[in-house]
Structure 1
């Protein structure tokens, strides 16, 4: 009988189990007391453990695969149960003409607006008279022609507003399309506002915003000491959607997680006749 210590177990090791009993004891017998005490011998190749691990891994893989397949099927079914977006005949004709001309149509038609704010108390009449339409566009090519010829924010006089809104939505609190809506407000130093405005414009025109059709437009307000970027959205009462939009804006503009943004519904602006004072939410 030989005794081995510190034996390295590898893939070719056999484990031999000796089971003994008798003489009123179940303890391990002293060296040399073999023979009648050994009642059974079991041999366990170490490869069985490896095969067991493979078996467990394969079971987990199959369960994961079934989970993904079932989840995808449910997702596909949910897509088919939702009503498809309504596309007007006018939009279809417009897209067909653009494609025939070799142009690249955008998902939505947009309008650039310009406002030169006058000192004093804002009234609806004075604001309506000051807001001017610059141009509308609905193709990639038309956007770049427009954008490349617009004055840079750093060259605009104070106080001035630049607006980019989807066609059919006026940049006015009172507009019917903005009923029950609101806006996120982000304040920037003047030296960086132009960059953030450009990033937001490209995301809005390129339909890269997760908020989708609930986006109305964006405004860059040029002030003396700071510039203010505001993002207008639908359904100001939907708190979860409003907070999701905030998170997306922070990711898009690469703002720090603790960067303070303010939110204000349009009906609150109508009551206090102010765009940026008395904001309802800071987050």
Structure 2
């Protein structure tokens, strides 16, 4: 079990000082941020020092320009004397109908390559048919894909991580990403604390490859995947901002052939003998 605590610093108490800290973390000068948002540098200086109170629209524009996570944006709104602006709408809500339709379309279009929808805690919210095919190929229950936690199944024994040919690389990358995200996510931080940090990957000798492949061992042979992510642009909802779709794109002809054949067989309707 990992016992290393996550560093925590108390943020500045006023909205202006929080904005100043966020701007400096983004490595922007007051002039840079003023030009990006279209407000005067003098007005921005007054906001940061507390001599002026930004209106909700100005505050929103500043926070969006700084690419501040929406949950943290709510804290800045509170510090400036406003109610939290950004909600976390359940994915099952009628307001999310268009989002669910878009996710379904993207997942279906990715077949015969696997694709999964991840929430902010690495929980699998949805998966396409090819993800279930991949689980079946490695001997894991096909129906277990949706509802599991990707970080857990990669790091803990008995999960997908056991079938990786390059487990040190993939587990190390997943751990690094999760621990970075956990700095601003208490629920994910609690999960990470229950997991064991993976061993460091071996040093790479010679020329570096273009990217790290996810290499999976199956009875049909080695499967190699490139990993890409799809996120929703311009989210104004915390749930929307946290969603990401991971696409596992076959990296060679053999992987395409195995996944295509297995997917077509799984999709073939049953007929009477």
The alignment's TM-score, normalised by the length of structure 2, stands at 0.23
The alignment's TM-score, normalised by the length of structure 1, stands at 0.23
Between structures 1 and 2, the one with greater strand share = 1
> Higher RCO, 1 or 2 (CA under 8 Å, sep at least 6)?
2
Larger Rg: 1
